[in-house]
């Protein structure tokens, strides 16, 4: 168990999943969210996983940020209920899906987004890297390159979706989109600074920093 320094000690179940198809993970999140809408006493959850190559479009996203035709059938693309523009997931990118009841923390979506950024900034600090925020934009940058994207959905103050940290992915998939709709700022990965880094080692740092920032006790669990 990873224990926070917070006296309230909310529990958060950690599911360390492997490589999981996007739609399977999406259904899993929706199931967890629905359970917690109907029973607010259930523990919070943090899912950490990787996805096979997939593009996702947020609500209201601009299809012009795709550099390929949606109907070409070559790439897996899903339009989903999170905020934000188009993003790309692939192996080597660590994705985190917190299913949190914000009534236990703060009922403030801007606060929640900043907390997710803080988790990732602390993870970078573990490796001696200085993560930055850019005012009016959501995510985390490293020397001007966006290394972490964030997109959320909240229903009755229960969260789903979350963050994606580029650890050591094949970056070519990002060339087919305007990532997050930001044309003038490049994306990057931690492997550009630490060539030997892996998602496996970063998982523990993410769990520890998540526990610190949200003041929870992380309980490692097996996937149901």
Could you list the active site residues? 180
CB–CB of 157/98 below 8 Å? Answer: no
Run of H or E including 8: none
CA gap 215, 186 in Å, rounded: 33
Secondary structure (3-state) at 173: helix
Pick from 204, 188, 47, 189: which is nearest to 123 by CA?
Answer: 204
Residue 102: which residues within 8 A CB-CB, separation 6 or more?
108, 112, 154, 157, 158, 159
In this structure, the strands spanning 44-50 and 93-99 are antiparallel
């Amino acid at each position: 168990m990873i224990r926070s320094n917070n006296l309230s000690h909310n529990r958060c179940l950690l599911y360390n999943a492997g490589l999981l198809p996007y739609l399977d993970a999406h259904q899993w999140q929706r199931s967890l969210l629905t359970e917690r809408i109907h029973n607010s006493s259930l523990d919070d959850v943090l899912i950490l996983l990787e996805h096979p190559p997939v593009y996702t479009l947020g609500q209201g996203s601009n299809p012009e940020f795709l550099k390929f035709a949606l109907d070409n059938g070559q790439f897996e693309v899903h339009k989903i209920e999170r905020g934000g523009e188009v993003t790309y997931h692939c192996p080597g990118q660590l994705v985190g899906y917190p299913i949190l009841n914000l009534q236990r923390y703060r009922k403030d979506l801007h606060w929640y987004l900043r907390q997710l950024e803080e988790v990732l900034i602390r993870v970078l600090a573990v490796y001696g890297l200085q993560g930055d925020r850019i005012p009016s934009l959501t995510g985390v940058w490293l020397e001007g390159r966006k290394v972490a994207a964030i997109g959320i959905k909240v229903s009755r103050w229960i969260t789903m979706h979350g963050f994606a940290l580029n650890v050591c992915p094949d970056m070519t998939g990002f060339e087919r989109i305007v990532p997050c709709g930001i044309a003038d700022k490049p994306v990057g990965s931690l492997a550009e600074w630490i060539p030997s880094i892996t998602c496996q080692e970063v998982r523990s740092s993410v769990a520890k920093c998540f526990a610190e920032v949200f003041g929870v006790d992380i309980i490692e669990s097996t996937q149901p």
